[in-house]
Amino acid sequence: MNPTVRTAVIPAAGLGTRFLPATKAQPKEMLAVVDRPAIQYVVDEAVAAGLDDVLVVTSRGKSAIEDHFDRMPELELELDRKGKQDALAAVRALAEGPRMHYVRQGEPLGLGHAVAMAADHVGDRPFAVLLPDDLMVDDAALLRGMLGANAERGASVIALKRVPSEEISAYGCPRVEPVDGPLVRIGEIVEKPSPEDAPSDLAVTGRYVFSPGIFEALAKVEPGKGGEIQLTDAIGELSTSEPVYGWVFEEGRYDVGTPLDHLRATIEIALAHPELGEAFAALLADVVRRHGLD
């Protein structure tokens, strides 16, 4: 029987150069989207999909992430003293979530290298990888679907977003064959192809459910584009020894590692926010009118 996936690996050791100077002294995973840091959405998504063990791959300057998911007794005492019970509950809940573990990636040698850092923790079980740059606003529907397909097929499943052809050169892009509904079988996979060379309009995005075979594949790949160990190359390698599937989705994803998409996420998540949504919608309508954008 295929073992159940319990662990979410969250690679968070990158330099965040697309969001400088905001990310010079602050992890990009801790940039707030409305009222919580990006990484909190991702941990919540993992929990909503049934995972209860989280391994964050961190690096120098990222200790704010560990502090965020830890107890903070002085703050809790002060909130209690001031009768701020809602804030107290929110702060405490962060330390009472899934089991959090951390491993350091000494040098940013690439996403593939970051995932390889999880090998000892994960062992011989399937596991999920969630990139904290990619915020999914879908009640964990995508990840749930992928975990279901992994359990059914006993194989790796990669999230694939359909993108316009001019955007494909920012992503890994696979050749695929249809299987069943959103499920496709992945063949060859190309990192950042030009639109003319792209084998499909499907972009590898930041949710993966891997069989432990990915670690062997990662050990085989050489540094690729940008001198980094590319996860995409390891997925291609894996697909030569075992089946790899893709799960196609269209909507609900924001790349909060870039200022523009971070703004889009902020606006849309704020509009849907149970307490802020109504007031924010009025504020936004006013801004739109005053700037003559209506």
Query: Would you list the DSSP string of 19-73?
Result: GTTTTSSS-GGGSEETTEEHHHHHHHHHHHTT--EEEEEE-TT-HHHHHHTS--H
Running DSSP on this structure, what letter comes out for residue 170? G
Nearer to ligand UTP, 154 or 258 (CB): 258
- For tokens 């594949």, the residue is 217
Nearer to ligand UTP, 114 or 140 (CB): 114
x/- mask, ligand UTP, residues 39-68, rule CB under 6 A, reads: ------------------x-----------
Nearer to ligand UTP, 98 or 223 (CB): 223
Find the binding residues for ligand UTP in span 102-141 (CB under 6 A).
Answer: 105, 108-111, 113-114, 131-133
Asked if 22 touches ligand UTP (CB under 6 A), the answer is no
Strand arrangement of the beta sheet that strand 53-58 belongs to: 99-104, 53-58, 7-11, 127-130, 202-210, 156-162, 244-249, 183-191, 172-180
Binding residue for ligand UTP, selected from 5, 8, 16, 39, defined by CB under 6 A: 16
206's tokens: 């930041």
x/- mask, ligand UTP, residues 237-276, rule CB under 6 A, reads: --------------------x-------------------
Binding residue for ligand UTP, selected from 6, 9, 14, 55, defined by CB under 6 A: 14
Nearer to ligand UTP, 168 or 270 (CB): 168
Helix and strand numbers, DSSP H then E, in the chain: 11, 13
Round to whole Å and give the CA distance between 51 and 6. Answer: 5
Considering the complex, what minimum distance in angstroms separates the CB of residue 57 from ligand UTP?
A: 5
> What distances in angstroms separate CA 25 from CA 22, 30, 32, 156, 262, one per listed residue?
7, 11, 15, 36, 18
Round to whole Å and give the CA distance between 91 and 73. Answer: 10
**Surface-to-core class of residue 47, CB atoms within 10 Å of its CB (0-12 exposed, 13-18 middle, 19+ buried):** middle
Number of residues in contact with ligand UTP under rule CB under 6 A: 20
Considering the complex, what minimum distance in angstroms separates the CB of residue 92 from ligand UTP?
A: 27
Considering the complex, what minimum distance in angstroms separates the CB of residue 42 from ligand UTP?
A: 9
- For tokens 């190359």, the residue is 233
The H-or-E segment that residue 202 falls in is: strand 202-210
Nearer to ligand UTP, 6 or 262 (CB): 262
Nearer to ligand UTP, 15 or 267 (CB): 15
Round to whole Å and give the CA distance between 17 and 12. Answer: 13
Nearer to ligand UTP, 132 or 182 (CB): 132
Asked if 17 touches ligand UTP (CB under 6 A), the answer is yes
Task: Identify any residues that bridge with 180 across adjacent strands, giving them in sequence order.
Answer: 183
The residue nearest ligand UTP at its CB is: 14
Considering the complex, what minimum distance in angstroms separates the CB of residue 119 from ligand UTP?
A: 14
Nearer to ligand UTP, 18 or 125 (CB): 18
Considering the complex, what minimum distance in angstroms separates the CB of residue 135 from ligand UTP?
A: 12
Running DSSP on this structure, what letter comes out for residue 182? T
The site for ligand UTP (CB under 6 A) is made up of: 11-18, 57, 105, 108-111, 113-114, 131-133, 257
